[in-house]
Structure 1
Amino acid sequence: MRRKRSLAALLALLVSLLGIAGLGRTAHAEPARPQTPLAPLAPLAPLATGLHISDGRLLEGNGNDFVMRGVNHAHTWYPGETRSLADIKALGANTVRVVLSNGHRWAKNSPEDVAAIVAQCKANRLICVLEVHDTTGYGEDAAAASLDQAADYWIGLKSVLTGQENYVVINIGNEPWGNTDPAGWTAPTVAAVQKLRNAGFQHTIMVDAPNWGQDLQNVMRTNARTVYDADSTGNLIFSIHMYSVYDTAQEITDYLNAFVAARLPILIGEFGGPSDQWGDPDENTMMATAQRLKLGYLAWSWSGNTDPILDLATDFDPTKLTDWGKRVFNGPDGIAETSREATIYGGGSDAGCTVGYRVANEWGNGFQGEITIRNTGAAAITGWTLGFTFANGQAITNMWGGTPRQAGAAVTVTPASYTATIPARGAVTLGFTADKDGTNSAPTAFTLNGGVCATG
């Protein structure tokens, strides 16, 4: 999303489309949009050993549906922010899209660095979407790399990515075509996908749309079948970036429903909510529609934007969520409410757990609480993250049995060494003290590793 805008490019698009192009945040315009319906595809037998596509859905290797709920993180520009993945996970995300560079425009991320970021994703129980950002705006931005150059970079990383198919999705290139002749996007996209398959990659591959990712002229929508059929494995997912082009509910629902009706896999790979000079994206419809259709979404972006209204957290601090961050993580259809951890890490929609919560002692402006986590399943739970939300502004001051992180009302807890394993049919108990101000209602919902627990 770090992009320059040129006056010439803006004027050219104004003439051709009666709209205004923005640096991956294209202003809304109403050119004639081709409405040719996408023809349904016969599902291809997946060949991937891990994350793969079947009948238009992203599945894990065990066949369980996986719906991405996460954010983008600008690793290549902020390589020192190594705590970010843990912070993103603690707020409930199950996926992070990591910005990388192939060295064409920014400092190249080495194989060692990519291996380390994948290891961090796995350590934090996140699915890792890796993308090359140098392709942004190709054809309109002279500094951009081609998809072919991005494919060569991935091939150079094959030794560190092979075997990671359960954990890694390869997003060939970010927003790999600008607004100049966007129809030119199709052939290079097909060629890049086939180049990776011919090199032996079995990962799920993600492809971004032209028009700075927003597919203003429906090139990706119209040519999706051609691109999908060109992948010999069928393990390809389309990514639409939704900014100010998508400022009405109709535009959002029409676009996403077209892919779902055709059994073509799609997710919202970037989206923004705050309004600015280019328009006011309808993030509420984006998130609600993604949840209704069980499609993934990845918000832009964690922190460090040159346009700070797009920061989810200020200065990479998870305790300083912006209004945008509060909306994405804790609002309706947000990450805390809808994210489910990948089953490769032991998560899923059924956590097999019951959580008991009680106030053990209470005084003027404080109280002592107790949380008991019961494993109702037949296998031990090793390593866990508990999530819940306070209702009345309570703030934890100390905890034993776990380590809390609190962002506003949302609390996530990771275990101490002696509570890290919850035996089958067993339980662990956490204690804490907290500040309160007046009413002290108990949390009404708890999640364990992203799965909803019963209460009682």
Structure 2
Amino acid sequence: MRKRLAALVTAFLATAATFGVTAAPPARAEAPPGFHISDGRLLDADGHDFVMRGVNQAHAWYRSSTPRALQDIRALGANTVRIVLGTGDRWAADDAADVAAVVAQCKENRLVCVLEAHDTTGFGEQAGAVSLDRAADYWISVASAIRGQEKYVVLNIGNEPYGNTGYGSWAADTSAAVNKLRAAGFHNTLMVDAPNWGQDWSFTMRDNAGSVFAADPERNTLFSVHMYGVFDTAAEVNDYLNRFADAKLPLVVGEFGDRHTDGDPDEDAIMSATRQLGVGYLGWSWSGNGQDVAYLDMATDFDASRLTAWGQRIFQGPDGIQETAREAGVHGTAPSAARPVTAG
């Protein structure tokens, strides 16, 4: 994860009231076989509402840590985990066998598995970053590990697919990647990240989400914003989330932290607003962050008995994972009696 944000909050505020999210078109008549979108909500294969509550695990850089990390993340209450994968362009490739093993481990731990290709991070600004089209090629290369797992796997096409330059082509490129994967036979819910290192300060995703959703022939696209320094006030958080809710377009906060080098995100507002709106969130990240952002570790050295202040906040604090997570019905829990996921 590399955030390269300049002084962009002023621009964010200046344009905040100018544009709004376009409304979503009607869903297609036939629902996909697994997770799917209906009326702006993420539903499981049985048609029941599902709200992600979980964290990110940096599998691509710490592969040997993943089996234990998933056990610990689940024991601490999460219902979802977002898994960092490499396409082989910037980071070593996670092949089909490795991806299949990760999916199996998520299922064993009763976690919904969000798989993301990280090599797109900051495309157009970050040297070595690859396009969404290239990420789609990667997913096609590991399709055997993903097809048939629509009840358990959400596919996040590419992490933070543009930096702060060239993001004007986000909508066209995102729609093209979605359609490439549909043509290749993927029926999973597809998660798409915002540009601007995920933070969408330019509102490119916000203002084009309706057209991107409509371009998906399965109407099964979930939008993901990353909330760091750009979202440092409750007003900014609430405005962004409510615009998607009002437009009935599905949104998740795919990454956020309690502080960052680009500013101080308002994690309390993020967690409160997502609870009120029934929007999912996935905190960054379990452990292993680089020295410049080591404060974003939730567990020191991947040790669940050594939660950091951020780890305690997201798992155990108000509006946190243990208080708000409900296990996915795909794991056998009756939705009418969906129990909280509790530690232990």
Partner residue in 2 for 1:29: 10
Partner residue in 2 for 1:50: 34
Q: How does 1:237-256 map to 2 (within 5 A)?
A: 237-256=222-241
- 1:333 & 1:131 partners in 2: Cα distance? 25
- 2:283 & 2:120 partners in 1: Cα distance? 19
Instruction: Flag as ranges the 4+ runs of structure 1 deviating above 4 A.
Output: none
User: Is the counterpart of residue 319 in structure 1 residue 308 in structure 2?
Assistant: no
Which range is displaced more, 339-348 or 253-262? 339-348
Q: How does 1:250-269 map to 2 (within 5 A)?
A: 250-269=235-254
- 2:125 & 2:341 partners in 1: Cα distance? 46
Residue 344 of structure 1 deviates from its aligned partner by: 1.2
- 2:92 & 2:131 partners in 1: Cα distance? 16
- 2:62 & 2:88 partners in 1: Cα distance? 15
- The amino acid across from 2:250 in the alignment is P
Match of 2:266 among 270, 275, 282: 282
Match of 1:174 among 156, 159, 163: 159
Q: Is the 8 A contact 1:269 1:298 kept in 2?
A: yes
Residue 29 of structure 1 deviates from its aligned partner by: 3.3
Q: Is the 8 A contact 2:71 2:109 kept in 1?
A: yes
Q: Is the 8 A contact 1:213 1:241 kept in 2?
A: yes
| CA distance 1:143–1:166, shift in 2 (3 Å) | same
Partner residue in 2 for 1:133: 118
Q: How does 1:374-453 map to 2 (within 5 A)?
A: 387=342, 411-412=343-344
Partner residue in 2 for 1:93: 78
User: Is the counterpart of residue 39 in structure 1 residue 22 in structure 2?
Assistant: yes
Q: Is the 8 A contact 1:43 1:56 kept in 2?
A: no
User: Is the counterpart of residue 112 in structure 1 residue 94 in structure 2?
Assistant: no
Partner residue in 2 for 1:336: 322
Q: Is the 8 A contact 2:77 2:341 kept in 1?
A: no
Match of 2:59 among 65, 68, 75: 75
Which range is displaced more, 129-138 or 177-186? 177-186
- The amino acid across from 2:74 in the alignment is K
| CA distance 1:89–1:218, shift in 2 (3 Å) | same
SS at match of 1:297: strand
SS at match of 1:319: coil
Partner residue in 2 for 1:191: 176
- 2:195 & 2:182 partners in 1: Cα distance? 22
**What residue ranges of structure 2 are gaps of 5+ in the alignment?**
none
Match of 1:148 among 133, 138, 144: 133
- 1:251 & 1:59 partners in 2: Cα distance? 27
- 2:201 & 2:213 partners in 1: Cα distance? 20
Residue 348 of structure 1 deviates from its aligned partner by: 5.1
SS at match of 2:10: coil
Residue 256 of structure 1 deviates from its aligned partner by: 0.6
- The amino acid across from 1:38 in the alignment is V
Q: Is the 8 A contact 1:92 1:329 kept in 2?
A: yes
Partner residue in 2 for 1:60: 44
- 2:244 & 2:47 partners in 1: Cα distance? 21
**What residue ranges of structure 1 are gaps of 5+ in the alignment?**
14-18, 21-27, 354-384, 388-410, 413-456
SS at match of 1:291: helix
Residue 33 of structure 1 deviates from its aligned partner by: 1.5
- 2:250 & 2:284 partners in 1: Cα distance? 20
Q: Is the 8 A contact 1:29 1:245 kept in 2?
A: no
Report how many aligned residue pairs link the two structures.
Answer: 338
Q: Deviations over 1:47-81 (max 9, x none)?
A: 31010000100001111100000000000100110
User: Is the counterpart of residue 164 in structure 1 residue 149 in structure 2?
Assistant: yes
Partner residue in 1 for 2:277: 293
The structure with the larger Rg is 1
User: Is the counterpart of residue 346 in structure 1 residue 332 in structure 2?
Assistant: yes
Sequence identity (%):
57
- 1:386 & 1:230 partners in 2: Cα distance? 36
Q: Is the 8 A contact 2:22 2:209 kept in 1?
A: no
- The amino acid across from 1:168 in the alignment is V
Q: Is the 8 A contact 1:148 1:191 kept in 2?
A: yes
Q: Deviations over 1:20-65 (max 9, x none)?
A: 6xxxxxxx33453153222322321253101000010000111110
Give the TM-score taking structure 1 as reference length.
Answer: 0.72
- The amino acid across from 1:119 in the alignment is A
SS at match of 1:41: coil
SS at match of 2:253: strand
Partner residue in 1 for 2:194: 209
Residue 279 of structure 1 deviates from its aligned partner by: 1.3
- The amino acid across from 1:342 in the alignment is A
Q: Is the 8 A contact 1:47 1:202 kept in 2?
A: no
- The amino acid across from 1:36 in the alignment is F
| CA distance 1:113–1:352, shift in 2 (3 Å) | closer
- The amino acid across from 2:45 in the alignment is G
- 2:338 & 2:90 partners in 1: Cα distance? 48
| CA distance 1:42–1:184, shift in 2 (3 Å) | closer
Q: Deviations over 1:219-259 (max 9, x none)?
A: 00111111111000000000000000000111100101001
Bigger helix fraction = 2
Give the TM-score taking structure 2 as reference length.
Answer: 0.94
Q: Is the 8 A contact 2:87 2:94 kept in 1?
A: yes
